[in-house]
Amino acid sequence: MDESSLIKRAQSGDVGAFEVLIKNYESTIYRICFKVLKNEADSFDAAQEVCIKIWKQLGKFEEKSKFSTWVYRIATNQCLDILRKGKNKKVVSINQNEEWALELEDTKINIEKQVEDAERLRILKSALDELKKEYSEIIILKDVKNLSYEEIATEKNISLGTVKSRLFRARNALKNILKQDKEPFRSFWRHNNRKEGL
């Protein structure tokens, strides 16, 4: 049975369908939690809570975005809630100095930024997957591997002019994909605007 059918059956109360559906995401959910919480026990507990939330909120899911995107959002929000409540942090007693408390707060902000950056990278990867192969390859060579124009020309056995023109077209194509008014690309601009304080 495909994922869409499993979702519809689970939304109608079919527990068996939900169990099959969530089994496909258990390891992914745990990895997301562990990446944020850095602790096996806390990550396991958080992943269990995420599965419960998915079950409770499944009726609200609409196929305007990918189910995986929706699951990712619930998992990251759950982990951020745990961090905000301090459930996975050391308790700071009133006798300890203010600097330690500030350090904990900075750590929390840092982790939230890492989660946001990870989400943006995931969206960019989805956009790259929609590009023509020659476009995604040249963007990865230049913007991910940081090769020079000359190195790319040598590796791809094309002229320097072709490298520059292809990269220009590839970046424009990527930008157009990211501008699409659909998930997950709509989220990319929300993350950017939040980052820029808009």
Q: pLDDT-based confidence at 159, cuts 50/70/90?
A: very high
What per-residue confidence (pLDDT) applies to 89?
45
3-state secondary structure of 8: helix
pTM reported for the whole predicted model = 0.46
Helices 160-178 and 149-156 pack at an angle, to 10 degrees, of: 100
What per-residue confidence (pLDDT) applies to 88?
40
Q: Is the dihedral of CA 56, 33, 20, 1 positive or negative?
A: positive
Question: Do you find a cis peptide bond into 184, omega within 30 degrees of 0?
Answer: yes
Going by C-beta distance under 8 Å and a sequence separation of 6 or more, which residues neighbour residue 51?
A: 22, 26, 29
Amino acid in position 153: A
**The total number of residues written for the chain in this structure:** 198
